Amino acid sequence: MLVLVTLICITYWVYRWRNPRCNGKLPPGSMGFPLLGETLQFFSRNTTNDIAPFLKERMKRYGPVFKTSIVGQPVIVLTDPDLNHFVFLQEGQLFQSWYPDTFTKILGRQNVGSLHGFMFKYLKNMVLSLFGPESLKKMLPEVERTACRRLQRWSIQETVELKEATAAMIFDLTAKKLISYDQDNAPQNLRENFVAFIKGLLSFPLDIPGTAYHKCLQGRKNAMKLLKNLLNERRAMPGKSRSDFFDFVLEELQKEGTILTEEIALDLMFLLLFASFETTSMALTLAVKFLSDDPSVLKKLCEEHEKILRNRENTDSGLTWKEYKSMTYTFQFINETVRLANIAPVIFRKAIREIHFKGYTIPAGWAIMVCPSAVHLNPAKYKDPLTFNPSRWEGVEINGATKNFMAFGGGMRFCVGADFAKVQMAVFLHCLVTKYRWEPIKGGNILRTPGLQLPDGFHIWLMEKTGMKVIARDSKGMEKKKTQVYHSAQQKATGISLTQHHHK
């Protein structure tokens, strides 16, 4: 009798799991196995730029809206542009930002993505004080100097792994602006902890020593410890101002009646450091890869940036904000890069109350998964969506998210660092194509799990260019002996194929 009752209970539980109750009609789909759901399928590997098989198969079977379960949470998956846009527009009314518990554990319980209402707006305004347009105008010369210095340093190396190199460049710049962090004089390497954190961010959430997820949690723990120590050191020297974001945070923490807590401040700092360098460095690496693969695009980009130099009275002067804003084709190129990259594979929200839309019911408390990749690779909107074609953006003005472009999110949670990312990408590309040529050496293969990775990196040989001559220098600045048949995309773009002879 006990066995029978147990079997009946288990059967009923499984039935209820696979057939959730709803005051209406749930979208079609499968809830998968009890507790596990379809988590394994969601984290399956994909080595193309196309829509992930998890989404593609279910879109074909169920349509643009379907239900599933991931890491124990019932989820409504949206690949419909209208529905996605509706979710962003109804932020705070019908939907709110949400992450699975496994993500929240990684990003912090008080991270800005998990906060709502007045607190979210308060933190957003704090961040805009650092990454807003006026601040970026002042920051432009430093961004250019940083890019030029790094490129010159890389040009004396035999090879450069571009993803790692650009990540280090952007992290050092951002950490300096946020917390006056100087890697060369720091007792511990802050970025190493973020590298461990990133590798497990979108991995299967198994917290066992040796797994990527466990290393991710340890990386966060170590990084938060370092940030807390820096905050305490800053408090111990109240009279020493560094005019960075940490100073601004400390002022807010010391105000009477402030709503900012130390936990929220540290989680904010952690998220800003992570978001500012990981996504931008990945986009930059893919941008260079796309240029290497398409000489015609490279030629157009070179022409735009060489024109900027020709129009200057002083060719050695730095970039101006007016010149930056004139980079029409560069912005088209950036749009196309982030469209095809789909660095943020999914965006989560949660239904605040029961919602009826297009004949379906979304129960209150259910998670919503917005899928930018399904929108960005929609053949009904983008002709040949897997083809890299910056010219498709010609005449298209994008100042935020649209129904068909959400690389930086949308609605009131549109990425506050989007303009900062574009500045860094545009300035880096300007310095790169006007002063250097490069040749891919190895790597460049992508892996999505579902987050985007480059498991083999992207290794290039970078060369300084002076007129038609390519110079390779050693660590002392002297020209190397090198005979190199130069068949890179840069020469193909200009129709040149030379055997380079370099002598001391």
- Residues belonging to the binding site are 415
Per DSSP, what are the bridge partners of residue 67? 29, 76
**Confidence (pLDDT) at 487:** 41
Nearest alpha carbon to residue 408 among 422, 395, 396: 422
The token duo for 487 is 């068949």
Q: Are 288 and 104 in contact (CB under 8 A)?
A: no
CA distances from 389 to 127, 333, 334, 393 (A): 33, 8, 11, 8
185 CB-contact burial (10 Å; exposed 0-12 / middle 13-18 / buried 19+): exposed
**Which CATH number belongs to the domain containing residue 65 in this structure?**
3.30.43.20
pTM: 0.84
CA distances from 423 to 81, 138, 335, 336 (A): 28, 12, 13, 16
According to the 3-state scheme, what is the secondary structure of 30-78? Answer: CCCECCCECHHHHCCCECCCCCCHHHHHHHHHHCCEEEEEECCEEEEEE
**Confidence (pLDDT) at 106:** 66
**Count of Cβ atoms closer than 10 Å to residue 504 Cβ:** 7
**Confidence (pLDDT) at 117:** 65
**Looking at the chain, how many residues does it have?**
504
- Residues belonging to the binding site for heme are 415
Residues of the chain predicted below pLDDT 70: 12-17, 102-106, 108-118, 183-188, 193, 195-204, 238-242, 400-401, 467-504
Residue 352 located in a structural domain: yes
**Confidence (pLDDT) at 313:** 83
Check residue 484 and report its DSSP letter: E
Q: Are 458 and 440 in contact (CB under 8 A)?
A: yes
Residue 347 located in a structural domain: yes
Range of the domain at 371: 22-109+343-376
Residue 63 located in a structural domain: yes
Residue 4 located in a structural domain: no
The three-state secondary structure class of 440 is strand
**Confidence (pLDDT) at 282:** 93
**Confidence (pLDDT) at 268:** 83
Cis peptide bond N-terminal to 141, omega within 30: no
Residue 459 located in a structural domain: no
Q: Report d(CA 113, CA 350) in Å as an integer.
A: 12
**Confidence (pLDDT) at 495:** 41
Q: 219-265: per-residue pLDDT in tens? A: 788 888 888 888 888 887 766 666 778 888 888 888 888 888 888 88
Per DSSP, what are the bridge partners of residue 138? none
CA distances from 425 to 90, 145, 156, 422, 432 (A): 31, 14, 22, 5, 10
Residue 142 located in a structural domain: no
**Confidence (pLDDT) at 442:** 94
**Confidence (pLDDT) at 166:** 95
Nearest alpha carbon to residue 436 among 401, 460, 466, 479: 466
Check residue 343 and report its DSSP letter: S
The three-state secondary structure class of 377 is coil
Residue 394 located in a structural domain: no
**Confidence (pLDDT) at 281:** 92
Could you tell me whether strands 436-443 and 458-466 are parallel, antiparallel, or unpaired per DSSP bridges? antiparallel
Q: Report d(CA 470, CA 184) in Å as an integer.
A: 31
**Confidence (pLDDT) at 403:** 86
**Confidence (pLDDT) at 127:** 79
Per DSSP, what are the bridge partners of residue 361? 356
Task: Give the chain's domain count.
Answer: 1
Residue 301 located in a structural domain: no
Distance, C-alpha 279 to centroid of its chain: 2
Check residue 10 and report its DSSP letter: H
